[in-house]
Structure 1
Amino acid sequence: MRSLSFVGVVLLIGIVACASLGIAVAGDEEMCVPMGIITLEPPDSVDAKRAAVEFQHGRHFVLACNNCHHTWEGAEPITGCMTAGCHDLDTLPRKEGSKVIDKDQAFRYYKNAYHGQCIGCHKTMKEEIQQMANILADIDGKLPTTGPTGCIECHPKD
């Protein structure tokens, strides 16, 4: 129950921070932050081989908006990832006259953008969770509330 209230507080702080940033920067315009599920689909020109992704936007409020919306500066409404000039390519870019992938432009391919961002972050989280599991195993499953705060906790008496 305690961890649920902590998550609630963090979520509330994130919403208030994003909302106040939006109001402070946008002035008279109201900033809209989607709270529910955002369906991520490939461009219309792509024959999807897998189902669309039901992205839980609210679960990501603990992150800074710029973690995903990397070009957003806070003044304008956020545009989708597949807008012109960002991740707008519906095929993997190749070097002219070749089958070799153009690595300088590969980030513009929508699939690379999502997979690189989402899977990369989730792999990092998985590693961090595994590290916490290893720590819990070392301390018999009891997570300390803080690190040591008293002298003898680090410096045992002789």
Structure 2
Amino acid sequence: MKKSFLISLMVAALVCAFALPNVMAGKEVPADMVLKAPEGMKAKKTPVQFSHGKHSAEYKIDCMTCHHKAKSEADIKGCAVAGCHDQPGKKEANTFYAAYHSKKSDASCVACHKKMKKGPKSCKECHPKNK
């Protein structure tokens, strides 16, 4: 009885040692990325270089602040996926433009930069001219 109990404890310890870190790590966040209009949507400005690492590690912004529709960090998808900010135009909340530029949502880049008084505040700072 004692022997089987000890073996069970050893197996449980090994499972915890090797499996738990992978479960706790969650989804890997890309360090840097380029934000561009979804496929088939015409963009009027150049794509934007974005540093996930800086926003999460340096500025300590919680993922769920920007990815406000996700139920958990494991559920996070890109902004331009179907049903999120995948529509052309500027005025409706579900447009690709609104995801980054809305002044009414704390989840947008423009509103957050204004509120935090950090980061780019003009179009040219995010959208440099074509090279």
Q: Does the pair score TM above 0.5?
A: yes
**Highest CA radius of gyration, 1 or 2?**
1
**Number of aligned positions between the proteins:** 91
Indicate if the aligned counterparts of 1:39 and 1:55 stay in contact, CA closer than 8 A. yes
Residue 112 (1) aligns with residue 98 (2): yes
What is the alpha-carbon distance in structure 2 between the residues aligned to residue 86 and residue 21 of structure 1?
Answer: 31
Residue 32 (1) aligns with residue 28 (2): yes
Q: Secondary structure at the match of 1:111?
A: helix
Could you tell me which residue of structure 2 aligns to residue 98 of structure 1? none
Deviation at 1:22, TM superposition (A): 8.0
Could you tell me which residue of structure 2 aligns to residue 58 of structure 1? 53
Could you tell me which residue of structure 2 aligns to residue 125 of structure 1? 116
What is the alpha-carbon distance in structure 2 between the residues aligned to residue 21 and residue 67 of structure 1?
Answer: 25
Relative to structure 1, the CA distance from residue 22 to residue 88 in structure 2 (aligned partners, 3 Å threshold; closer, same or farther) is farther
Give the gaps of 5 or more residues in structure 1: 1-19, 93-100, 128-158
What is the alpha-carbon distance in structure 2 between the residues aligned to residue 22 and residue 125 of structure 1?
Answer: 34
Indicate if the aligned counterparts of 2:64 and 2:73 stay in contact, CA closer than 8 A. no
What is the alpha-carbon distance in structure 1 between the residues aligned to residue 95 and residue 75 of structure 2?
Answer: 23
Give the alignment partner of residue 76 of structure 1, picking from 61, 74, 87: 74
What does the per-residue CA deviation read over 1:63-86, in whole Å, with 9 as the maximum and x for residues that have no partner? 111111112222634211111111
What is the alpha-carbon distance in structure 2 between the residues aligned to residue 22 and residue 53 of structure 1?
Answer: 31
Residue 43 (1) aligns with residue 38 (2): yes
What is the alpha-carbon distance in structure 2 between the residues aligned to residue 91 and residue 22 of structure 1?
Answer: 40
Indicate if the aligned counterparts of 2:64 and 2:72 stay in contact, CA closer than 8 A. no
Indicate if the aligned counterparts of 2:35 and 2:47 stay in contact, CA closer than 8 A. yes
Q: Secondary structure at the match of 2:50?
A: strand
Indicate if the aligned counterparts of 1:42 and 1:110 stay in contact, CA closer than 8 A. yes
TM-score (norm 1): 0.50
What is the alpha-carbon distance in structure 2 between the residues aligned to residue 56 and residue 110 of structure 1?
Answer: 19
Indicate if the aligned counterparts of 1:45 and 1:90 stay in contact, CA closer than 8 A. no
Could you tell me which residue of structure 1 aligns to residue 88 of structure 2? 90
Q: Secondary structure at the match of 1:107?
A: coil
What is the alpha-carbon distance in structure 2 between the residues aligned to residue 84 and residue 66 of structure 1?
Answer: 18
Q: Secondary structure at the match of 2:115?
A: helix
Indicate if the aligned counterparts of 1:38 and 1:56 stay in contact, CA closer than 8 A. yes
Indicate if the aligned counterparts of 1:23 and 1:31 stay in contact, CA closer than 8 A. no
